[in-house]
Amino acid sequence: MLTIWRRHRTKCDHADDRYYRKCKCAVWCEGVIEGRYRRHSLKTRSWERAAEIVRDIEDGKENEARPMAFKEATEKFISNLRSENRQPDTIRKYRLLFSQLEPYGRALPDFTFEVLLKFREAWNESPATRNKKLDRLKAAFRFFHEAAWVPTNAAKQLKPAVAPKVKVKPFSPDEQALILAKPQTSRIRAFVHTLYHSGLRISDCCFLRPDDFDGNCIRRVNRKNQAEIYVPIPPYLKSELDELELRGGYYFLIGESTHLGTQTDAWRTILSDLYKSKVTGFHPHRFRHTRVVEWLAHGLTMEEISGMIGTSIKVLDKFYASFAPAR
């Protein structure tokens, strides 16, 4: 009978427990099978997969191990994401990727480099979006390979698309005046002014609640990167928010759904209908660009802005430094 155990790395926090299941150290087995002592690596970091391999060895099926089914592998990958406490939207994007990939094969070995090339050829999004999708594809197949479910990582050699350099486009003074002056309902007006004055992403603004305020300052954790932000808004805007009737505890909920995609799509549609015909290249994220540029123009430091919107100084320097020539 074989016993499964972890061969921990030197720096592993659980090196004193060789039966700890949740770290990423290699899994080994040790014991006697048919009178022969065995002690060797099972070539996997997954405790569950190691148990399957040991069962095959003990049943005399060591060389008959079935290939891992694609659906089974992806469900285990999703389960691992949940264990890592990843965001629901991240898990949703992986599920979408796997549903698109499923018609290309049934077992993991079916997904060769050539098959993944063919899969990528069908993508028709922008280069930046395709590269994000490729990052998820490579992360999944790296996981499959490290778990020893496939002998090689078929996605490793896929290279990202060359994306055009992103240029920040804040709203001009005339565009700002047009946007802020356009007649709207009280809720839409409050939403637009909140985006404009706070620099929040639309995904954070959609789910703004009274509990997210400390006086006239928004204090909350960003959905995207879990960074805490602290940003002031004008007193008149806080008063307008306080006068709104809450929906499900939120200021700006559309309908009853609290699904992120439903709310962001609804608000993007509303804002596009309002401004796209009047403002060339309108996009809600330009409110964020505009706010950061305005702060730079008023002399705020990169460190101060980083703390207010939850973006690293490196990102601010890369995309916004050109708007502050004095730096």
Q: Do residues 177 and 220 both lie within one domain?
A: yes
Q: Do residues 296 and 187 both lie within one domain?
A: yes
Q: Do residues 51 and 188 both lie within one domain?
A: no
- Per-residue pLDDT tens digits for 18-32: 999 989 899 999 998
Q: Do residues 106 and 212 both lie within one domain?
A: no
Q: Do residues 190 and 134 both lie within one domain?
A: no
Which structural domain range is residue 49 located in? 2-58
Confidence of residue 324 (pLDDT cuts 50, 70, 90): low
By three-state DSSP, how is residue 41 classified? strand
Write down which residue in 110, 128, 146 finishes a domain.
Answer: 146
Label each residue of 224-272 as H, E or C. Answer: CCCCEEEEECCHHHHHHHHHCCCECCECCCCCCCCCHHHHHHHHHHHHH
Q: Do residues 79 and 206 both lie within one domain?
A: no
- Per-residue pLDDT tens digits for 87-108: 888 999 999 999 999 999 989 9
Q: Do residues 318 and 179 both lie within one domain?
A: yes
Write down which residue in 58, 78, 104 finishes a domain.
Answer: 58
For residue 156, how many C-alpha atoms fall within 13 Å in the half-sphere facing its CB? 10
pLDDT at position 240 is 94
Residue 160 lies in a domain: no
For the chain, the average pLDDT equals: 89
Q: Do residues 36 and 76 both lie within one domain?
A: no
Q: Do residues 74 and 41 both lie within one domain?
A: no
Q: Do residues 259 and 216 both lie within one domain?
A: yes
- Per-residue pLDDT tens digits for 223-279: 887 888 899 999 999 999 999 999 999 999 998 888 888 999 999 999 999 999 989
CATH number at residue 246: 1.10.443.10
- Per-residue pLDDT tens digits for 169-216: 889 999 999 999 888 899 999 999 999 999 999 999 999 999 999 999
By three-state DSSP, how is residue 99 classified? helix
User: What is the full DSSP assignment across 115-153?
Assistant: HHHHHHHT--S-HHHHHHHHHHHHHHHHHHHHTTSSSS-
Residue 151 lies in a domain: no
Residue 156 lies in a domain: no
- Per-residue pLDDT tens digits for 207-235: 999 999 999 999 998 888 788 889 999 99
Q: Do residues 103 and 140 both lie within one domain?
A: yes
Residue 276 lies in a domain: yes
Cross-sheet strand order for the sheet of 213-214:
213-214, 217-221, 228-232
Residue 161 lies in a domain: no
* Domain total of the chain: 3
Confidence of residue 166 (pLDDT cuts 50, 70, 90): low
Residue 42 lies in a domain: yes
Q: Do residues 84 and 53 both lie within one domain?
A: no
Residue 155 lies in a domain: no
Residue 189 lies in a domain: yes
